[in-house]
Amino acid sequence: MRLSQLFTKTLRENPKDEESVNAKLLTRGGFISKVMAGVFEYMPLGLSVLNKINNIIREEINAIGGQEIFMSVFQNHGVWAMTDRWNEASGVMYQFKDNTGKDYGLAFTHEEPITVDASRYITSYKDLPKAVYQICNKFRNEPRAKSGLLRGREFMMKDLYSFHATQEDLDDYYEKVATVYMRILERVDVSAVRTFASGGMFSKYSDEFQVLAEVGEDTIYINEKENRAVNKEVYNDEVLSDLNWNKENLVEKRAIEVGNIFKLGTRFSEKLGLNYTDENGDKKPVIMASYGIGPARLMGTIVELHNDKNGIIWPESVAPFKVHLIVLDGKNKEGDKIYDDLKKSGVEVLYDDREDKSAGEKFADADLIGCPLRIVVSEKTLEKDSVEMKKRNEKDAKLAKISQLLDLLNR
C-alpha cells in the first residue's frame, strides 16, 4: 500500500474523551475512527490488524473442530424470555420496540439462538459432540466506555459453543479450548494468566484469561508458581481452600480480561428443548459450554503492552504490514522498484512514497504506525547500493545491500 493513496492520514491531535493509550495511538495512527463513546470504526490499517487477529483465532479454533457460522445481531424476544434472560440481562442488553410494538434485542452473546439452532440439527448421541463459532459484532449497554477498544458498546467477539453428551466429554473439550486460548494469546504476543472467576448463573467457576496491565479493570491474585490466578470477585477463604492455595503466596495485580470460558451445563438446553436420545433410547438434555475471546479488546491490549512514546510496536504476527518502506531525497524511482520487488515476493509493505513530507515527518509516522521493520531508501544509502534497515523495537539501524534484501526478509 502506498501511503500517498491510503485513505487515512496520521493525526497530530489526541482524540477527545479518550484517556487510554490504545485509543490515542490507534486513532492518531489512523487505525480506528470514533463514532461515539465505545463505538469505533476500523480504517484500512486497523481492519488489517483485526483480520490478522481473527485469522489466528480461526486457525486455532478450526484445528479443534470448530465450524464457523455467522449469527444475527437481532435477537428474538420470545426465545430469550424462555431462559428468563430477557429480563435478567436487560441491564446489558439493548432492547427496544419497533413502530409496530415488536420487541428487538441486540446480541451481547448468543447462547439462546445457538441452542435453538442446535435443537434443529441435534437429536441423537450420534450427532454429538459439536462445536460452532462465529466472529461478529456484539452490543453491550456499558455505563462507562472510555477505554478505547478495551470496553466498547459495540465490539467484535469470537464466541464458540460446544455441545456434548457427557460431562467428561465437555470437560475434555473445555481443557482443549483453554490450551488453544493460551496459544492464541501467545501468537499475538500477549502473555495471559488463566484465572478462576465466577461461573455466574451457570457453574461454580468460569475461567478467565487475564493479561497483566495497570490499565486493566480487573484485580487478580496470582499464584506465580502455577501461573494461575483468582479473580478478586471470587477471592475468599472458601475458594482458596477449594484450590488449596495459601493467601501469602499470591500477588495482587491489575489485569485486562481478554477471554472467558464457561461450563453452561444444561442451563440453556433444558429451557429451550435441546435434547438428544442416548444409546438406550432415553431422552437427555445436551450439555453445553461457551467460550469468548475479544479480538477488538485484544487489539487494544496489544497496543497497551507494545508501545513507546513514539507510537505502537506491533508484534509481527498482527502488524498491518511487515515492512514500512520510506523513500527520501526524491529517490522515488528507486523506491518504487524496491516496493514492487518486495510486493512481488509476497512481503507486506506500507510504502511512504509521499513527496511533500520531510524525513522527520516520515520517520515519526513510521514510529507511530509501528510496523516491525523500517527500510529507508535515500541518496546516501543508494551510493552504497543499499537500504537502511531498522527494527521498530531496536535502536540501531544497519545498511543492507539491495541485492540481498529479499533473502534477508525471507529468512
Using the rule CB under 8 A, is 391 a contact of a second copy?
no
Determine which residue in the list 17, 35, 175, 273 makes contact with a second copy, applying CB under 8 A.
Answer: 35
First to last CA, the chain: 23
| DSSP string of 137-187, one letter each residue | EEE---S---SGGGS-SEEEEEEEEEEESSHHHHHHHHHHHHHHHHHHHHH
Q: Does 21 bind a second copy (CB under 8 A)?
A: no
* Shortest reach from residue 153's CB to a second copy, in Å: 7
| Contact by Cβ (8 Å): 197, 207 | yes
Q: Shortest approach of a second copy to residue 58 CB, angstroms?
A: 11
Which SS3 state, helix, strand or coil, does residue 219 take?
strand
Residue among 39, 63, 201, 399 that touches a second copy (CB under 8 A): 39
For 400, the grid coordinates are: 543492507
d(CA 85, CA 97): 17
Among 58, 130, 322, 357, binds a second copy (CB under 8 A): 130
Q: Is 305 exposed, middle or buried (0-12, 13-18, 19+ CB in 10 A)?
A: buried
Q: How far is the CB of 248 from a second copy (least distance, A)?
A: 44
Amino acid at residue number 255 = A
- DSSP designation for 320: S
Cβ neighbours of residue 308 under 8 Å, at least 6 residues apart? 367
Query: Segment near a second copy (CB under 8 A), from 129-137, 254-262, 372-380, 385-393?
Result: 129-137
Interactions with a second copy, residue window 62-101 (CB under 8 A):
65, 67-76, 94, 96-99
Q: Which of 43, 149, 170, 305 binds a second copy (CB under 8 A)?
A: 43
Q: How far is the CB of 4 from a second copy (least distance, A)?
A: 8
12 binds a second copy (CB under 8 A): no
Q: Between residues 137 and 404, which has the closer beta carbon with respect to a second copy?
A: 137
At 345, the amino acid letter reads S
CA distance linking residue 77 with residue 85, whole number of Å: 10
Q: Give me 172's grid cell.
A: 475434555
29 lies in the site for a second copy, by CB under 8 A: no
Nearer to a second copy, 155 or 221 (CB): 155
Site residues (CB under 8 A) for a second copy? 5-9, 11, 30, 33, 35-36, 39-44, 46-47, 50, 65, 67-76, 94, 96-99, 104, 113, 116-118, 120-121, 126-127, 130, 132, 137, 139, 141, 153-154, 356
